[in-house]
């Protein structure tokens, strides 16, 4: 047994989150290592039973009565209040529903309107130049709708790019490709000082590290729930509207679910109070209640965002150490920053034949993913990954790199 294998055993023995692994369906992990939780989280063991109850009893027996008796109608706000402490928000500011893309659109158009838009001279939207493509596509559509232009800038260039024309700024908390963690507190403060409105995409940070939406004065935020929150494929996203903005938040998608009197069936629209005005149409109950079941892991006394973050940093540190020890020098380049304050919960490695390497890794039981043109991406979900998994993954990587 190598020194690193022995250290992995010792680290696993001291891991305060080790018992949480049993809350997930991971039967194959005796022979495989799942490092793609930043794309799709593992299945929590309680979700199948919860979904069966929704289908057989709530839908099959109670039928339409479940909108009231089973709490279907209030699920978007109720589940939003469960997510809120995971991203540092007080209750009443998050509503769950729709996709991340739809929520980015709501948030970005709403942000331009909160800033006053072109009528006030604010006719420019700044967008993270390295953003996930959909965010850029949505920003372009939001700009066309609001009469704004879009300018792509690197996150660290945002303070210098801000000006009196800036209406809104859309940024990713963690870069999806490199795993770089951006300075949410500092950038939010700069955006606020410039009189613009901040919109943060939390897809790669929620459930992996502290966010601090309220503490840092974030205006609007969106995020998905199928990555580190383990809500399931295509599980609904969420929208955060800071309480101070709720009365003025003007969603571009005013559906009947966000009406002050949704069953009044009035032809004139009147927005509901609070975060509810971020709702649109009928909630997707099956996936939403699967998400609610998945989030129960966060109610365990041994699980907290701080504990998850501490283990995330330890896992990613150890992975980089193992890669450095096992992989021939110069074969890969670590793209993810080494500094803890600049790292999310993934490690990205650059190599020229990354696509072929990832195919071989998956065949060998180490599941990560590939991002064109040359990035191997490995996500670390501390709730169910151990240090022996990490050491084994690095060892297999070295073998497949030849």
Which residues are catalytically annotated? Answer: 132, 201, 226-227, 377
Cβ-based burial of 67 (10 A; exposed 0-12, middle 13-18, buried ≥19) = middle
* Residue 378, strand partner residues: 347
Q: Which tokens go with 220?
A: 């609007």
Q: Is 388 helix (H, G, I), strand (E, B) or coil?
A: helix
d(CA 370, CA 356): 9
d(CA 206, CA 359): 28
Packing angle, helices 387-401 and 305-326, rounded to 10 = 30
Residues in the chain: 402
**Using an 8 Å Cβ cutoff, are 276 and 247 in contact?**
no
The DSSP letter of residue 38 is: T
**Using an 8 Å Cβ cutoff, are 139 and 150 in contact?**
yes
């Amino acid at each position: 047994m190598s020194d690193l294998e022995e250290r992995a055993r010792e680290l696993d023995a001291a891991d305060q989150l080790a018992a949480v692994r049993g809350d997930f369906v991971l039967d194959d992990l005796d022979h495989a290592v799942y490092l793609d939780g930043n794309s799709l989280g593992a299945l929590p063991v309680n979700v199948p039973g919860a979904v069966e109850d929704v289908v057989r009893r709530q839908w099959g027996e109670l039928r339409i009565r479940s909108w009231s008796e089973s709490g279907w109608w209030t699920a978007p706000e109720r589940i939003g209040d469960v997510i809120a402490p995971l991203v540092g928000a007080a209750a009443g500011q998050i509503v769950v529903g729709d996709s991340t893309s739809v929520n980015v659109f709501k948030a970005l158009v709403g942000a331009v309107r909160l800033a006053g838009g072109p009528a006030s001279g604010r006719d420019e939207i700044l967008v993270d130049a390295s953003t996930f493509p959909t965010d850029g596509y949505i920003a372009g559509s939001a700009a066309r709708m609001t009469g704004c232009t879009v300018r792509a800038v690197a996150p660290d260039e945002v303070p210098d790019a801000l000006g009196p024309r800036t209406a809104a700024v859309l940024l990713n908390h963690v870069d999806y490709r490199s795993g770089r963690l951006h300075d949410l507190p500092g950038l939010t403060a700069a955006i606020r000082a410039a009189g613009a409105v901040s919109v943060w995409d939390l897809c790669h940070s929620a459930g992996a590290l502290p966010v601090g939406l309220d503490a840092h004065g974030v205006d609007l935020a969106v995020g998905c729930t199928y990555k580190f929150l383990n809500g399931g494929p295509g599980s609904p996203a969420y929208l955060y509207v800071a309480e101070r903005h709720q009365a003025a938040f003007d969603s571009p998608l005013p559906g009947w679910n966000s009406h002050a009197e949704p069953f009044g069936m009035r032809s004139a629209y009147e927005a509901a109070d609070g975060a509810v005005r971020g709702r649109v149409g009928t909630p997707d109950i099956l996936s939403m209640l699967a998400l609610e079941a998945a989030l129960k892991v966060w109610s365990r006394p041994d699980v907290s965002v701080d504990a998850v973050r501490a283990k995330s940093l330890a896992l990613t540190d150890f992975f980089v150490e193992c890669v450095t020890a096992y992989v021939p020098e110069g074969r890969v380049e670590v793209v993810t920053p080494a500094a803890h304050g600049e790292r999310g919960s993934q490690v990205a490695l650059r190599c020229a034949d990354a696509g072929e390497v990832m195919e071989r890794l998956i065949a060998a039981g180490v599941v990560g993913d590939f991002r064109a043109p040359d990035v191997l991406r490995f996500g670390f979900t501390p709730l169910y990954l151990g240090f022996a998994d990490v050491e084994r993954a690095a060892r297999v990587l070295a073998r497949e790199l030849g």
